[in-house]
Structure 1
Amino acid sequence: MLTAVAIAVDGLGFAAWLFLSSVGLTLIYGVMRILNIAHGGFYALGAYSSAWAIGLYTQTGSTIALTYLIIPLAALAVGVIAGLLIERGILRFMYGRDEVLMVLVTYAIFLILEDVTKLIWGTGSMVAYQPAYFLGTIEIFGIPYTIYKLCLVGLAIVVGAVLWWGLNRTRIGKLLLVVIEDREISRALGINVTLFFTVTFVIGVTLGALGGAVTAPQISVVPGIGAEIIVMAFAVIVIGGMGSIGGAIIGAIFVGFARALSVHLYPPAELFSIYLVMAVVLAFKPYGLFSLAEGRKI
């Protein structure tokens, strides 16, 4: 019984973290058809920015409660600054090019961002444990669990709900769906496709940075964390269907619980379990569970 509870709680927590870390990747692909390998670099920037800002703030001796505001602000700063610089400075010149070229370009951006983090914050580790430590733990059926991780579950639900509402219940969201369906028709209708691309990329980068920012209080932030997350985020969106927000939710749940099962029942298979789930899903649904329909042009 206790093992089942531990698997359920850990699986839910890991799924929430995976969703927060990967939803920006699927959003950018869904709108812009760019497989953004640089997503891992934005995740790392968010983690470093959050840890650095929390470290500076806590040195002042002020209340820890305000660190929970620093986390999203750090992600927003990364999204606006890095997102605008890269989209306006590099990617806008690549629109309409071959998808393989876009992958190579974003991979090059990822390598640059890896070096940027080292130049700014060095190669040592950074620790910002205060937000997670301040909330303490709670017992679930006798098993202690970090309250901070439970808060991430709530945050993932809020982010998912806001994205769904924005895409399906607002005028801008419906215009965005038109852009996703056909860029040429959208331009003919007078929709500013370039502006939608810029805003989408900034939001996607902000979400990627948010995944790193909320992770910083739970880990030691070190060089290379961006490479780790891009692999798992890619597995999530491939399972759910690239470009689908709902698919990202389902993919995160699948991967989260597969990982929790392996950790508690057979730890050596922790990493293998993620790719096993992906292989099984793709064997029956080659484009993922909720892949977006591709329009056929004549």
Structure 2
Amino acid sequence: MLQVLIPLTVDALANAAIIFFVAVGLTLVFSVLRVLNVAHGSFYSIGAYAAASLGLWVVSAGLPEWLTFPALVLSAAFVAAIFGPFVEHLLIRWTYGKSEALQILVTFGLFLILEDLQRIVFGVNSLYEDTPMRLLGSTMIGGIVYLNYQLLLIALAILTLVGLKLMISHTRMGKLIAAVVADREISQALGINTNRIFMLAFTLGVFLAALGGALATPTTGVSPGLGADTMVLAFAVAAIGGLGRIEGAAVAAIIVALARVLAIYYAPELDAVAPYLVMLVVLLVRPYGLFHTDTTRRI
């Protein structure tokens, strides 16, 4: 029994780690900017394309293969530096305080533009670069073979969760973000540059999404349409955990990943719908997500 459950659990946690990066970026942007960014999944796929392209260049150029590891993070940082401030200042900033319908329409338009941009730049063929996974190899524990890259993904997700919580609780920038989340008007009255906080939070969200795509590339590759699939899944995870809740995104990612893995093993025909069945059940019981808490609202 353990020879079945343990590998399934490891696969689920590795899957949850990738989902977490995207979902926590989405929920961070929503908690600070109060914007439902439908284009968030595109940053995931752009990060994946950038990581695969840079990794393939490193290998083809004859450079040391270990450079493909920093290439994953550098690709995500590059995507965030290029798209984060530019998109927030040029487009997202004008949706602040507007209706959710307008925000969804604007970001959906951005999503369509970014999807076409990816096809123009990277073409329509799939890219696959597995050097980081191959270099780390595998480990046999109790007669079961585990990919070390999967274990690395789990560790990175845990470090990211802890790092985000520590940043918000113990750094000046984190406290400024918390103040803006609590009350934008009071924050502005106190002299906090809320536009700068919005830009930094959006850029961090883009980085987390791009990092998820970059880290997923060695295991799954990247192909057209990846952004749309990831966006729907990230919204499901964010809804289950509660929009704006970082710890909720982590727990929901694990729940969704377990549902997908168990569906693949026991009922493959339910693989595509398992996450959304879980979301349906959770939202019927907790309409605002597992970690939603009632707060007072100033009127």
Give the TM-score category using the shorter length.
over 0.9
Deviations 1:174-211 (A, max 9, x none): 22111001111111111111100000000000101001
User: Counterpart in 1 of 2:276?
Assistant: 275
CA contact 1:243–1:292 (8 Å) conserved in 2: no
Change (3 A) 1:175 1:257: same
User: Counterpart in 2 of 1:171?
Assistant: 172
2: CA distance between counterparts of 1:202 and 1:294? 27
1: CA distance between counterparts of 2:282 and 2:141? 32
User: Counterpart in 1 of 2:99?
Assistant: 98
Over aligned residue pairs, what C-alpha RMSD do you find?
A: 1.2
Deviations 1:20-58 (A, max 9, x none): 222101100011111111111100110000000111111
1:223-262 to structure 2, matched below 5 A, reads: 223-262=224-263
- 4+ residue runs over 6 A deviation: none
What displacement does 1:293 show?
Answer: 4.4
User: Counterpart in 2 of 1:35?
Assistant: 36
Change (3 A) 1:293 1:70: farther
CA contact 2:69–2:132 (8 Å) conserved in 1: yes
**Aligned letter for 2:271?**
E
User: Counterpart in 2 of 1:77?
Assistant: 78
Secondary structure class of the residue paired with 2:291: coil
**Aligned letter for 1:226?**
G
Change (3 A) 1:76 1:199: same
User: Counterpart in 1 of 2:120?
Assistant: 119
User: Counterpart in 2 of 1:25?
Assistant: 26
5+ residue gaps in structure 1? none
Task: Determine whether 1:59 maps to 2:60.
Answer: yes
Change (3 A) 1:96 1:297: same
TM-score by length of 1: 0.97
2: CA distance between counterparts of 1:207 and 1:106? 18
2: CA distance between counterparts of 1:93 and 1:59? 43
TM-score by length of 2: 0.96
1: CA distance between counterparts of 2:253 and 2:125? 30
Change (3 A) 1:293 1:78: farther
Deviations 1:118-171 (A, max 9, x none): 111111111111111111122233222221111000110111111000011122
Q: How many residues align?
A: 298
User: Counterpart in 2 of 1:289?
Assistant: 290
- Identical positions, percent: 43
**Aligned letter for 2:225?**
G
